[in-house]
Amino acid sequence: MSTTVIAITNQKGGVGKTTTAAALLSSLHRRGARVLGVDLDPQGSLGFSLGLDIEGCTTVYEVFRGEVEPDQAITQTEHGDILPSNILLSAAEVEFNRPGREFLLRTALSKVRERYDFIIIDTPPALNVLTVNAYVATDGLIIPMSPEVLSLLGVSQIKETIESVRGYYNAHLRVLGILLNRFNPRLNLNREILELAEQIAGQLETRVFQTRIRTSVSVAEAPAHGLSVVDYAPRSKPALDFEDLCDEVAGAAFPRQKEEN
């Protein structure tokens, strides 16, 4: 199969982007997919969450500067390969100001893309040059949101950026779906946000994923152990939900292992 590149994006922070990226990487890897996680957030949360020493390794920043090839920055882990980042990447907006800067990630990934079935990109909580790089390099976006109004606002503001990227850089960019994190169907606000999310999904010509990720303390605990929630607490509610999400995203090509049923 050809490589599928997916960016996890929302300009609002704290909506579960890194948790979602790490869970998808781990779940796909466990199902036998060849996966690469790309961290475009200067906080380096994806690499840290999966056990990397992000201060002591070569990162995507050095790749963008042309100091190393992607091969030299990719780290192999038990959850799949990771192209990490750290705080040095926060200089990107100022430092990478030359023509074609929107294509830095696409160019880098073109050198390794064929080795992977899935490339999952974790993006920063901002609509900046790093986010645009992710949109230019990707096939599809997953937009996680928490069931609160400010998170919903972040989703609606993405629309303009998507349309700009489609018009100038990546005509094939599409939204795979909106993902509701920390969802509790018993709460009135959660149900109301779901209705509003479905309206915004219509504007983005996409859907709200059938899977909703329930909350659990294990989501907060997992990064401290260098694990995604699906590895740290595989029988927890969010881990089971992320397996369902993986079915929605890639189940036809990579069905879950029998022991996980």
For residue 125, the number of C-alpha atoms closer than 13 Å in the C-beta half-sphere is 16
Structural domains of the chain ordered from first start: 4-251 (3.40.50.300)
Tell me the β-bridge partners of 141. 7, 175
Q: Among 35-39, 91-95, 121-125, 152-156, whose mean pLDDT is lowest?
A: 152-156
Average pLDDT over residues 226-243: 92
Q: Is the pLDDT of residue 260 over 50?
A: no
pLDDT at 14: 82
Instruction: Give which of 42, 80, 61, 162 is closest to 72, Cα–Cα.
Output: 61
Q: How many Å apart are CA 108 and CA 106, to the nearest integer?
A: 5
pLDDT digits (tens, 9 = 90+) for 11-30: 888 888 999 999 999 999 99
pLDDT digits (tens, 9 = 90+) for 109-160: 999 999 999 999 999 988 889 999 999 999 999 999 887 777 677 777 788 8
Average model confidence (pLDDT) for the chain?
90
Q: Name the residue among 181, 248, 178 with its Cα closest to residue 206.
A: 178
Q: Taking the complete model, does pTM exceed 0.75, yes or no?
A: yes
Residue 1 pLDDT more than 70?
no
168-222 pLDDT tens trace: 999 999 999 999 998 887 777 888 888 888 988 998 899 999 999 998 888 888 9
Tokens of 183: 């969802």
Alpha-carbon distance values, 135 to 7, 62, 103, 105, 123 (Å): 7, 20, 10, 10, 9
How many angstroms separate the CA atoms of 241 and 148, rounded? 20
Query: For residue 261, what pLDDT is reported?
Result: 42
